[in-house]
Amino acid sequence: MNIQQEVEHLQCLIIGSGPAGYTAAIYAARADLKPVIYTGIVPGGQLTQTTDVDNFPGYPNGVTGPVMMEDLRAQAERFGTEVRFGYATKVDFAKDGGMHTVEIDNIKTITADTVIIATGATAKWLGLESEEKYNGFGVSACAVCDGFFFKGQDVAIVGAGDTAAEEATYLAKLCNKVHMLIRRDEFRASKAMVHRVMSTSNIEIHYNTEAEEIVGDGQVVTGVRVKNNQTQEEKVLDVTGFFVAIGHTPNTDLFKGILDMDETGYLITKPNVTATNIPGVFACGDVQDNVYRQAVTAAGTGCMAALEAERYLAAKESGE
């Protein structure tokens, strides 16, 4: 870190600006912790890349992801949160719970009594041009968020892990038919999940099958061209929805070797709380949750992180 520059000290630094980060900011600001939030390169996080959000409580007519994130930002600012565009590039957390140091954009150094990590996760995509073109217009990486829009229709889902199996059965309840595209000749998912898929009559499993192109009319998805990687046979499945469920990558590169994480990189928090292995450092939202991954659960853990930060500071101040 550059010791020549001016160092800014904060009581509470929040890294990441999805529902978890902003909710933590609302609570921390109302507790007078004067939080500063650094947005990361995608201010608003994953939800700014979706269209309609119909499952976040409080919006009876639904809301778009970008508008919801603007609302959350405005609410955090209303109580005095300072929202800054910037990206954490280096962290140096004090193992004994002393002052934590975070470098922003390689140039600015911040010390903080508490740090709330809400850097989220990034959905993995196949990398097809047509997938990007129709993202939000039939292509989705979240069945629970977007499945409802395909009620009674035929859809396809890619993936063979627990997420794909869970999302396929979720979609099967809403949709007429679910085509499950599996690139190998077997699932990766647990036996129980595979059993659930197998016993759902409107899921058709296509083994050794890869999506080659999402077909559309220029506006929305109308099908998917698939190829059997054993026979090289190609065909188009008529679907209006295309779900990608091939995993997520938690945004935790910065914390490798510093914070406890599982083998896939998700931060490990202590049971039922948001505390990490370093006192004064908390983690909330998708960066520590590979199971629910919902805006509302992220917001819930954001609230927890701020309350825990506040209690941590109060205990420290009173010499506990």
Q: Which residues contribute to the site for ligand NDP (CB under 6 A)?
A: 126, 158-164, 166, 183-184, 188, 246-247, 290-291
Distance CA 28, CA 33 (A): 5
Distance CA 145, CA 312 (A): 34
Residue 193 beta carbon to ligand NDP: minimum distance, rounded to whole angstroms: 7
Provide CB contacts within 8 A for 103, sequence distance 6+.
Answer: 1, 88, 89, 90, 91, 109, 110
Residue type, 15: I
| Nearest CB to ligand NDP, comparing residues 158 and 295 | 158
| Nearest CB to ligand NDP, comparing residues 30 and 225 | 225
| Nearest CB to ligand NDP, comparing residues 81 and 209 | 209
Looking only at the bridges linking them, the beta strands covering 241-244 and 139-140 are: parallel
Distance CA 274, CA 245 (A): 26
| Nearest CB to ligand NDP, comparing residues 156 and 284 | 156
Annotated active-site residue 175? The verdict is no
Residue 165 beta carbon to ligand NDP: minimum distance, rounded to whole angstroms: 7
| Nearest CB to ligand NDP, comparing residues 166 and 310 | 166
Annotated active-site residue 303? The verdict is no
Residue 291 beta carbon to ligand NDP: minimum distance, rounded to whole angstroms: 5
Which of the residues 54, 105, 113, 142 is marked catalytic? 142
Distance CA 320, CA 318 (A): 6
Which of the residues 145, 175, 284, 303 is marked catalytic? 145
| Nearest CB to ligand NDP, comparing residues 154 and 162 | 162
Helices (H) and strands (E) counted in the chain, each on its own, are: 7, 19
CB-count exposure of residue 173 (10 Å: 0-12, 13-18, 19+) = exposed
Annotated active-site residue 162? The verdict is no
What is 50-75 written as a DSSP string?
-SEE--STT-TT-EEHHHHHHHHHHH
Distance CA 257, CA 261 (A): 9
Sign of CA dihedral 273, 276, 277, 280: negative
Q: Residue 30 half-sphere exposure, CB side, CA atoms within 13 Å? A: 11
Taking CB atoms, the residue at the shortest distance from ligand NDP is 161
Q: Residue 171 half-sphere exposure, CB side, CA atoms within 13 Å? A: 37
| Active centre residues (catalytic) | 142, 145-146
